[in-house]
Structure 1
Amino acid sequence: MLAFHYDNHVLPLPPGHRFPQSKYRLLREHFLRQPGGLGLSLAPAATEAELLLAHTPEHVDAVLQGHLGAAAQREIGFPWSPAMAERSRRSVGATIAAARAALAEGVAASLAGGTHHAYADKGSGFCVFNDVAVAARLMQAEWCRSQRSQLHVLVIDLDVHQGNGTASIFRGDDTVFTFSMHGEKNFPFRKEASDLDVGLPDGCGDADYLAALDGALDEVWRRLVLCPPGLAFYLAGADPHEGDRLGRLKLTHAGLAERDRRVLAALRERRIPVALSMAGGYGHDLATTVAAQVNTLNLAADSWAAWQRMKECPA
């Protein structure tokens, strides 16, 4: 399974900043030592034209040319720098590459991404550009050119924080179905309306979480029966884990793994290709976050292998 990374582009952050950027390097280094079913590849940078598929010209220009004001930088949570702009382009490029690979092979991943708090006209919450939104728009455009038909997209966002930027960008668009299951009382405190939102109480554990997920997925399939998606984006956040600093839910490693199995199996059974993003994860012990993401990627590689067997024996 192809997995795209870009952690060589480091954010110059002030001492004590709470964004755990070292987790991306640690994740890549794990798979360099133990690749399993993953093939690592350096992510390309998204072009300005690609970014404009989901973002306003003013926002793209402000980021790429260094015109972000102080208030905009505070809302994002990062100071502007050339490295910040380049890293943001690579974040989108990794998800674009994963989406193309997923359409060809069934499953692919970005070792980061999931920047779902970015709106069309601004960044927010450690998210500069919305990688899933740009990749979805680009895949739809490429599909229309090659297949002469509409590509319907499903976003399954299981980061512990609601995907407010994604919901806003795709509001009223019946070609993209947005589903977010998140901590009801967690950031963002002003939620946007996804096509399906499931808010969970603080302290929600494995059993209640998985029951809510099963019910939500049943509702997704019911509502998409007439327009089944041809591509899914799965934001497999590690931050619902009980050891997360910002999550406030109580999932164990086993619960997160079962979440991933159920999502990947449901997509595979319906022959829906999926591009994964690792999204959030802010463990008190960062090794806990990395371990959760390693589990997710190994399960994704298993699903990729099952896709290849289905291609060999379609009956």
Structure 2
Amino acid sequence: MNYIKIQITTEIERQNELILLLDGFGVEQYEEMSHEVVAELGRDEFSWDYVDPEILNISEEMYQVTFYLTEHEKELAKKIQEEIEGKDFGTISMEEIEEEDWANNWKEYFHPIPIDETLTIVPTWEEYHPREGEKVITIDPGMAFGSGTHETTFMCMEALAKYVHSGNTVFDIGCGSGILSLVAAKKGAKKVLGIDLDPVCVSASNQNVALNQMEDQITILEGDLFQVVKGQADIIVSNLFAEVIVGMLEDLQKHIVSEGIFISSGILAEKADLVKNALVDLGYEILEDHVKGEWACVVAKAGKK
């Protein structure tokens, strides 16, 4: 079945009026985009891992909704268009799109990813023959963030491959699919804790840990790092937004060993200085900072305790 994608953009003052109009047509499910939505994300930063940066630049005066009707609802789509244009609500666009398997189509873009000469990430649906001495991590992200293809994830994996040593304890904050926990374990970490607030991510991480038969090294916990974890790590990795990272740094101090390594990404490149300055203020030494595309990764060493 094909669908009709409808997008309406109006002024924020007409938000309630537009919602009532759509409700009158029986449209109850839609995506919203507004400055208010962005503000809500800021008030609840720990409930999400990734947001398209474009939404952060939305005008305070704009309100936009997007929804889908089936190909059998063309008459309804036409009536909505006439009503929107007749009442001068703003702009409306309609586009016919083919039915797609949204959950699986992205897989055609996820192929084996070499982290270095000794370790490669391989999706479950790809056949792969490792070289002699090469280690492989098999992964299916499911609905969780973290396949290794995104710049932030890849930079964290590169840093873990460089800094993890045999016998280390590693904490992975916001573990998503568990991919960073798996990299740390494959690189020799003796104990890895993956922590995430999202039960979907916890489930995906546990499945990937089991898929790689690494339950003895990796434990996945649901909750807030500062509530569910005791003890300290040699390395802490966090692939979250800059503001979230800065906000948790003081609490993080009690969970990292003297001169331990903190690897952070999920940072928009223009906000890298925000993270670096906050780390320096707490006595960290910046070891590396890299940029790929729009994203930055910062590696720092904690001070002596």
Larger Rg: 2
Task: Specify if TM > 0.5.
Answer: no
TM-score by length of 1: 0.36
Which structure carries more relative contact order (alpha carbon 8 Å, separation 6+)? 1
